[in-house]
Chain A
Amino acid sequence: MLGNDIVDLKFAKLHYNWRRKGYLNKIFSARELELINSSKSEDTMVWVLWSMKEAAYKCYNRLTSERLFNPQAFECALFGSCNNSASGVVKRSGQSFFTKTEISKNYVHTLAYSCTLMLDHLSVHHHKNNAEYSVAFTHSTNCSLQKDRNHLPEVIDKKTQHKHMASISHDGRYLCIAFLKV
């Protein structure tokens, strides 16, 4: 199962006030708050962990069709992190979703997958967050985007007609499409 999530850091600064009293406590566990407090950049770590939860939620939603807003139920752990990347796992009801996060000056983007090996087989495409993204995606990949029978995104290769599970995330200026190549 696949999920992705992007956070536009500039947009987040303007629209998501995580410093608001009570905000972080609604989202993060005591252990996760400790990761944030001990981080060199609290701002970045908040969005790394948030995007891990959101990407894992998309995986879990694909598995169960369960629709709930319960970020605390998705527990993050980091295997490692540096200035421009992080890897970890998000656990929910005994299920593990492995994550790989790209950290840049402008955005944080997390890929989540139920099997850690598959993380290296995902194709990731960044676009501007506007109505033309689907056309731009087709132009650059020769694949088109559509919805599967559960109304979830999938990619169809125009040449081979092969279908691939896909995940789309957008925030502020950015939109990111991830799909399984194999």
Chain B
Amino acid sequence: MSKEEIIAELKNIITPYSEETIALQSIDDDTDFLKDLKINSANLVDIVLDIEDRFNIEIDNDSMAKMLTVKATVDIIENKRQGNAG
């Protein structure tokens, strides 16, 4: 799965939790879940659980702590997927 595919999948996961349609359309590495997408932190938990289900990975607390931007989240997904494959 390429980085672009991961971002596309991430966008599908995030969309139901954000009403910022313009920010969603222009989603990139620097997009901040709270500041740009105005996602409620109670829904960040849902996003973490959705990512676990969709990518078949387990996200520990230290990783979850960093998941506030698209870039940090994609890095964590890539790392965990490599861990699974190895």
Contact = CB atoms under 8 A, between A and B. Distances in A.
A182 interface: no
A15 B65 contact: no
Interface stretch (A66-74, A97-105, A122-130, A139-147): A66-74
Given A20-B46, A26-B45, A72-B61, 19 more contacts: A15-B40, A15-B43, A16-B43, A16-B46, A20-B49, A22-B52, A23-B46, A23-B49, A27-B45, A67-B68, A68-B65, A68-B66, A69-B41, A69-B44, A69-B65, A69-B68, A70-B64, A71-B41, A73-B61
The 7 closest A-B pairs by CB, nearest first: A70-B65, A68-B65, A16-B42, A72-B61, A26-B45, A22-B49, A69-B65
Interface string B63-83: 011111000000000000000
B64 A26 contact: yes
A50 B49 contact: no
B37 interface: no
A51 to B, nearest CB: 10
Interface of A: 12, 15-17, 20-23, 26-27, 50, 54, 67-73, 171
B82 to A, nearest CB: 23
Contacts of A27: 45
A50 B44 contact: no
Nearest to B67: A69
B10 interface: no
B68 A26 contact: no
Contacts of A171: 40
A22 B40 CA distance: 18
Contacts of B45: 23, 26-27
A76 to B, nearest CB: 16
A26 B65 contact: no
Interface string B35-60: 00000111111101100100000000
A68 B72 CA distance: 11
A17 B46 CA distance: 8
Contacts of A54: 41
Contacts of A20: 46, 49
- Interface-centre pick from B52, B61, B67, B68 (highest chain A CB count, 10 A): B61
B42 A50 contact: yes
A68 B45 CA distance: 13
